[in-house]
Amino acid sequence: MACWLTQKLKIAEWGAIQFRVDMLRHALDAPLHVAMLVRRGADGEPDEVFVLVPDGSFMSKFPGFAEIDETFIPTGLDLIVGPGIEFEKRFPEIAAKMRRTTK
């Protein structure tokens, strides 16, 4: 069962997490089971980073992160690592919380 993890980090710190999530995505060959979203913090405040992993056994790969129920994930999210449209189809409740940009 999919597991959501979260931690507050400054942008300079979450680059390493982004790399780890991307590598895990490729290693598992499971693009729909691994993703990373970020909710930007206010000026000078850390960002909220959310990582999706296939199940709780992957928590050890993200020390300092805590498990969070999907229903507590806030709005205003940006998808940083993930399969885009496929992610939105699989997790419509989370996709509804993502920021939309207009062109």
Q: Give pLDDT tens digits for 15-74.
A: 999 999 999 999 998 777 899 999 999 988 999 999 999 999 999 999 999 999 999 999
Check whether 83 has a pLDDT greater than 70. Answer: yes
Q: Which residues contact 93 (CB under 8 A, 6 or more apart)?
A: 70, 71
Q: Which residues contact 59 (CB under 8 A, 6 or more apart)?
A: 3, 5, 53, 65, 67
Domain boundaries in the chain? 3-95
Beta strands in 1-103 (DSSP E): 3-9, 35-39, 47-53, 66-68, 77-81
Tell me how far apart the alpha carbons of residues 2 and 103 are, in angstroms, rounded to a whole number.
33
Q: What is the pTM assigned to this prediction?
A: 0.92
Tell me how far apart the alpha carbons of residues 16 and 57 are, in angstroms, rounded to a whole number.
20
